[in-house]
Chains A and B, each alone.
Chain A
Amino acid sequence: MSLPDQARQALEAFEQGKGWEQRARLLMQWGDRLEPLDETEKTEANRVHGCESLVWLVAEQVEGLWRFKASSDARLLRGLLALLLVRVQGLASEELAGLDLREWFTQLGLERQLSPSRSNGLHAVLQRMAELASNR
């Protein structure tokens, strides 16, 4: 499966990002590109629990393809969410279910952000996505 354009860009940027400072800067840049949520989308139903920060995931299917929006009140987490969305945007449920997102974050050099002991919430967001993909 070929990578979407933005995902390819992200991969190139993070592969070159050396050191924690560089990677943190990149994360913040990517987070800033995240399409903002309307206040009306920040509902309880869209909240992903299990995170120390507030995280929302808005998901809809248009003609069978997933369209996600996400945000958080924490900046670096917004970056992680942006990197997630560029990889999964526009996939069909079977594609989403078959995608190894752990592998994606490993390629970006961010696999440690996925640990369940991390309270940043990325882990919980991935679980929510997996549920969505298997339910419809």
Chain B
Amino acid sequence: MFQPSPWRADFPAIAALQRQHQTYLDSAATTQKPQALLDALSHYYGHGAANVHRAQHLPGALATQAFETSRDKVAAWLNAADSRQIIFTHGATSALNLLAYGLEHRFEAGDEIAVSALEHHANLLPWQQLARRRNLRLVVLPLDADGRIDLDQALQLIGPRTRVLAVSQLSNVLGTWQPLPALLAHARAQGALTVVDGAQGVVHGRHDVQQLGCDFYVFSSHKLYGPEGVGVLYGRSQALERLHHWQFGGEMVQLAEYQSASFRPAPLGFEAGTPPIAGVIGLGATLDYLASLDAQALEAHETSLHQHLLRGLRDRDGVRILGKPQAALASFVIEGVHNADIAHLLTEQGIAVRAGHHCAMPLLRDLGLEGAIRVSLGLYNDSDDLQRFFEALDQGLELLR
């Protein structure tokens, strides 16, 4: 039965891609953008760009107002108590690097950082490098067979020496939700700060950072149907106070002399230099658009498409799905067939999916794989997209076998 997406027409690029015979199933890498975002960018650039927080003139005041309104919208989206808890960065990666540098002073040799075995390089390497700089132990929490952090083992491994726990909310390779409530509660009880990489999780459903109980929550605008070049770092107020400044320059400073300076608190103290103004305004417009959608209908649509994807993969001989995906995506390999060959033939047929290690090389190695194919869904996908994918997969396999 055909399952349309009622929101497909809101994304002009989907029709454009279709005219080029491209079926876009790579939304976990980045998403297409709603018309509301294009309009906001065009309005901002068409009506007068200006720098924020410094100019006394009218265009500067308008830009600053729009920029700060976006901060309010992000705070509302995450249910943060106060907009001052929202720091704009250049992406999830730069937010995580900010944390790894901003918290560096809190570590002593021998302290521990806990991450999971499924982290994206963005939530692994900043901590790994911090551990190397400071002689810390990086503790890697193992996974269970379904691709979720093994709670029993994790609760053993997170102890009094753990200063930071940094974990993904939703895996970008396995599509599994991680058992955050138990992990975060335990880590906090041990006195550790908690960091949630919400890069994938934020795109599916609404998440309340106060309820989640994390110290920091990070995501990238471009995966949430917003523009790239913008990231968000939410921090609990007491946790933000612990951060040391890390990048220095204009706008983040209170008083500067030749030999010394004092810095502003969050958020501006962590937004050195001219921020991506249009991008931040665009993210605000995207959130307005997303907030206007029927959340229940959206969830039902995504769940049903995801089920369709899993069913189709399971129906095919030799397909091995990695882990037990619960949302948004599925990664798989095919027995006796190199994933580069499948990727090649899918590309030839206009199916845009990702092949490779998905920026999680250690995870793929743990699974004994060189790479995998990942199909990921956005709210604009419909069942015909999946049908085209499956037909292309069958044709490709027929040719290869």
Contact = CB atoms under 8 A, between A and B. Distances in A.
Interface stretch (A10-18, A40-48, A70-78, A99-107): A70-78
Given A52-B340, A74-B340, A74-B341, A21 B399 contact: yes
Interface stretch (B235-243, B293-301, B344-352): B344-352
B387 interface: no
B348 A20 contact: yes
A111 B355 CA distance: 20
B399 A54 contact: no
A8 interface: no
A73 B371 CA distance: 12
B345 A24 contact: yes
Contacts of B43: none
A28 B357 CA distance: 24
Contacts of A52: 339-340, 343, 355-357, 370-371
Nearest to A73: B338
Interface string B324-346: 00000000000000111101110
Nearest to A25: B399
A76 B344 CA distance: 8
B349 A20 contact: yes
Contact of B348 (A24, A54, A73, A119): A24
Given A21-B395, A52-B355, A75-B400, A119 B340 contact: yes
Contacts of B341: 74-77
Interface string A33-70: 00000000000000000001110000000000000000
B399 to A, nearest CB: 6
Given A21-B395, A25-B399, A75 B338 contact: yes
Contacts of A25: 399
Nearest to A80: B344
Interface string A95-127: 000000000000000000000000110000000
Which bucket holds chain B's interface residue count?
10 to 19
Contacts of A23: 348
Given A52-B370, A75-B338, A120 B344 contact: yes
A53 B337 CA distance: 12
Given A52-B355, A52-B356, A52-B370, A76 B349 contact: no
Contacts of A75: 338, 341, 400
Residue from B344, B349, B395 having most chain A Cβ neighbours under 10 A: B344
Nearest to A75: B341
A23 B347 CA distance: 13
Interface string B216-257: 000000000000000000000000000000000000000000
A66 to B, nearest CB: 26
Contact of A120 (B340, B370, B395, B399): B340
Contacts of A53: 338, 340, 370-371
A54 B356 contact: no
Contacts of B395: 21
A76 B371 CA distance: 16
A127 to B, nearest CB: 18
B345 A119 contact: no
Residue from A25, A52, A73, A120 having most chain B Cβ neighbours under 10 A: A52
Contacts of B371: 52-53
Contact of A76 (B340, B355, B356, B370): B340
Nearest to A119: B356
Nearest to A112: B347
Contacts of B345: 20, 24, 76
A24 B399 contact: yes
A134 B349 CA distance: 37
A136 B227 CA distance: 47
Nearest to B344: A76
Contacts of B339: 52
Contacts of A120: 340, 344
Closest 10 CB pairs of A and B: A74-B340, A20-B348, A53-B340, A74-B338, A52-B356, A76-B344, A75-B341, A76-B341, A52-B371, A74-B341
Given A20-B348, A77-B344, 17 more contacts: A20-B345, A24-B344, A24-B345, A28-B399, A52-B356, A52-B357, A53-B340, A54-B370, A74-B338, A74-B340, A74-B341, A75-B338, A76-B341, A119-B340, A119-B343, A119-B356, A120-B340
11 contacts: A20-B349, A24-B399, A28-B399, A52-B356, A52-B357, A74-B341, A76-B345, A77-B340, A119-B343, A120-B340, A120-B344
Interface of B: 338-341, 343-345, 348-349, 355-357, 370-371, 395, 399-400
Interface of A: 20-21, 23-25, 28, 52-54, 73-77, 119-120
